[in-house]
Amino acid sequence: MIFDTHAHYDARQFDADRDEVLSALPARGVGLVVDPGCDEPSSRAAVALAGRYPFLYAAVGWHPEEWESWTGESMAILRELVRAEKVVAVGEIGLDYYWDADHKPLQKEMLERQINLALREDLPVIIHDREAHGDALEMISRYEELRGVFHCFSGSAEMAAELLRRGWYLGFDGPVTYKNNKKAAQVLAVTPLDRILVETDSPYMAPQPVRGKRNDSGNLPWVIETIAALKGVTPEEVERASWENGCRLFRIDPGTYEER
């Protein structure tokens, strides 16, 4: 079975057929999903979805692009939501200098406060890092005990090696299948199977065969097959390893979720 460790099924792109898409996933080979929030409404929606689907879990957090909605009440909201049933991480949090390089201090403050929340609650984090590799690595390196995943990893092989040395996981999405993504091969060369997570970032970043269309977890076999080819292993090995890695990071016992 496939574990999609990052999919935004709370997004408006699924409003018309959300239940149809989610209900069909187990028959398409998808056994587990983590839906990360990006602000208060999406975090609450992720928690609600986790309550409706036994195979779906939630993360709660404030994405760096959502800095305008970050207020003095935001941390209180997250402290409430993070203790909801089936919340397995703090995320999606991080730094994004691609879309907004004018509010770096605020982005860093948001990230630092949410990291501290994760540490207090003994939860992993889901890190968004776009065009902010140096600052993102510097900030997480302040916390030796912090663990999590760099979602849709886009850094260098050298950065990957440092994160792996620290015990982090790396997430690989649709872009790994793009023909011009030579960096992915370099990163995968230094990334062992026991540190790889597969993600969709649905509804975004669809793999090459369906690029430009709405993405969902059922498209992950293309990502898995590409990783397998680059690693010189079978797709079954990547699927099994990424499932085990996701369960280990997010502390999910796949044998119990059907009982919820």
pLDDT of residue 251: 97
- Domain of 156, CATH number, reads 3.20.20.140
Q: What is the pLDDT of residues 1-39, one digit of tens each?
A: 999 999 999 999 999 999 999 999 999 999 999 999 999
What's the whole-number average pLDDT of the chain?
A: 96
Residues linked to residue 32 through DSSP beta bridges, in sequence order: 3
258 pLDDT band (50/70/90 cuts)? very low
3-class secondary structure, 95: strand
Which tokens belong to 86?
């089936």
Answer whether 249's CB lies under 8 Å from 6's CB.
Answer: no
pLDDT for 53 beyond 70: yes
Q: What is the pLDDT of residues 165-182, one digit of tens each?
A: 999 999 999 999 998 889
Containing domain of residue 6, as a range? Answer: 2-259
Please give the share of the chain, as a percent, with pLDDT higher than 70: 98
C-alpha span between 33 and 3 (Å, rounded): 6
Domains held by the chain: number: 1
C-alpha span between 212 and 191 (Å, rounded): 28
Q: What is the pLDDT of residues 111-162, one digit of tens each?
A: 999 999 999 999 999 999 999 999 999 999 999 999 999 999 999 999 999 9
3-class secondary structure, 190: helix
**Total Cβ atoms within 10 A of residue 26:** 14
C-alpha span between 228 and 85 (Å, rounded): 34
| Kind and range of the H or E run holding 57 | strand 56-60
Answer whether 100's CB lies under 8 Å from 132's CB.
Answer: no
For 3: left if phi > 0, alpha if psi spans -120 to 50, otherwise beta; the answer is beta
pTM of the model as a whole: 0.96
Residues linked to residue 36 through DSSP beta bridges, in sequence order: 59
pLDDT of residue 210: 97
pLDDT of residue 259: 38
Answer whether 84's CB lies under 8 Å from 47's CB.
Answer: yes
C-alpha span between 108 and 259 (Å, rounded): 39
Please give the share of the chain, as a percent, with pLDDT higher than 90: 94
Contacts of 161 (CB under 8 A, 6+ apart): 190
